[in-house]
């Protein structure tokens, strides 16, 4: 397979971020982690919101978060008092509700043992990362989103959009979480990781889709090393369609 040139050879992360921030609108009410941060103002509630977002979209996870907040509450003590069945029923819009309810309950019990919600703010970020990853159902993306948003730690969370876009940009050769995370962190810089993560999600949703990416409309098509390949494929598809007609 032909190796892609890296976008880093064409434009700096700082300049690319300027283009993306001007071209893409970020609404806080469209991201569950920001909804949780704004409405609950609690680090534990933010972590709950991130868990709800696993394997689903923000629209579903926001609905599940709001139902959980209204029916049970999203505070640590609210979750400790509730049964897994009650949590499951409240978070059904997020899908995998039993699995996610069990994870939320395990996280609450672990934090209660470790000294309460304050542990999420008190513990050194990388030690906190290691501790949270020991809890069944909590993965690297979940922890890194939390550390980036709540603790402003030098990490770069990688979701499906970031994984896809980083490889298309030639920043990483493999779809490996650690490799992609480090490549994006190096490219954008730790102080801009949270903003870059949000903009990459928006870029993936609007332009850099998994199937049929809209390269011809993309604000960074002149810098993306993959845009020419996709544009040529789309042109060939149109040409063949015209020939058949």
Instruction: Give pLDDT tens digits along the chain (245 positions).
Output: 445 689 999 999 999 999 999 999 999 999 999 999 999 989 999 999 999 999 999 999 999 999 999 999 999 999 999 999 999 999 999 999 999 999 999 999 999 999 999 999 999 999 999 999 999 999 999 999 999 999 999 999 999 999 999 999 999 988 999 999 999 999 999 999 999 999 999 999 999 999 999 999 999 999 999 998 877 766 665 555 556 65
DSSP 8-class letter at 171: S
Question: Dmax of the chain from CA atoms?
Answer: 70
Distance between CA atoms of residues 69 and 97, nearest Å: 15
CATH of domain 7-26+155-244: 1.10.1670.10
Residue 180 near residue 172 (C-beta atoms within 8 A): yes
pTM of the entire predicted model:
0.90
What tokens were used for 72? 């049970």
Indicate where the chain has its CATH 1.10.340.30 domain(s). 31-149
Counting other chains too, the contacts that 62-68 makes at CB distance below 8 Å and 24 or more residues apart are: 62/29, 62/30, 62/32, 62/35, 63/93, 63/94, 64/90, 64/91, 64/92, 64/93, 64/94, 64/97, 65/32, 65/35, 65/36, 65/91, 65/94, 66/35, 67/91, 67/92, 67/93
Q: How crowded is the C-beta side of 177, counted as CA atoms within 13 Å?
A: 11
DSSP 8-class letter at 123: S
| 150-168: b (≥16 Cβ within 10 Å) or e | bbebebbbbbebbbbbbbb
What tokens were used for 190? 């730790």
What tokens were used for 233? 């494929």
CATH of domain 31-149: 1.10.340.30
Indicate where the chain has its CATH 1.10.1670.10 domain(s). 7-26+155-244
Query: Which residue, chain included where needed, has tokens 């960074």?
Result: 220
């Amino acid at each position: 397979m032909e190796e892609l040139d890296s976008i880093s050879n064409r434009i700096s992360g700082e300049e690319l971020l300027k283009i993306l921030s001007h071209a893409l609108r970020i609404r806080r009410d469209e991201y569950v982690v920001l909804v949780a941060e704004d409405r609950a103002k609690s680090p534990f509630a933010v972590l709950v919101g991130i868990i709800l977002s696993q394997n689903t979209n923000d629209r579903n996870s926001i609905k599940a978060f709001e139902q959980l907040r209204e029916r049970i509450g999203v505070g640590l003590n609210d979750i400790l008092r509730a049964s897994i069945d009650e949590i499951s029923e409240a978070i059904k819009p997020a899908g995998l509700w039993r699995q996610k309810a069990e994870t939320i309950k395990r996280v609450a019990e672990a934090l209660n043992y470790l000294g309460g919600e304050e542990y999420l703010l008190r513990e050194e970020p990388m030690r906190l990362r290691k501790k949270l990853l020991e809890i069944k159902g909590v993965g690297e993306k979940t922890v890194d989103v939390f550390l980036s948003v709540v603790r402003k730690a030098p990490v770069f969370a990688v979701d499906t959009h970031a994984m896809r876009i980083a490889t298309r940009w030639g920043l990483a050769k493999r779809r490996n979480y650690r490799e992609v995370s480090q490549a994006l962190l190096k490219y954008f810089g730790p102080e801009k990781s949270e903003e870059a993560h949000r903009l990459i999600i928006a870029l993936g949703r609007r332009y850099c889709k998994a199937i049929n990416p809209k390269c011809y409309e993309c604000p960074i098509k002149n810098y993306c090393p993959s845009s020419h390949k996709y544009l040529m494929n789309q042109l060939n598809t149109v040409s063949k369609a015209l020939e058949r007609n």
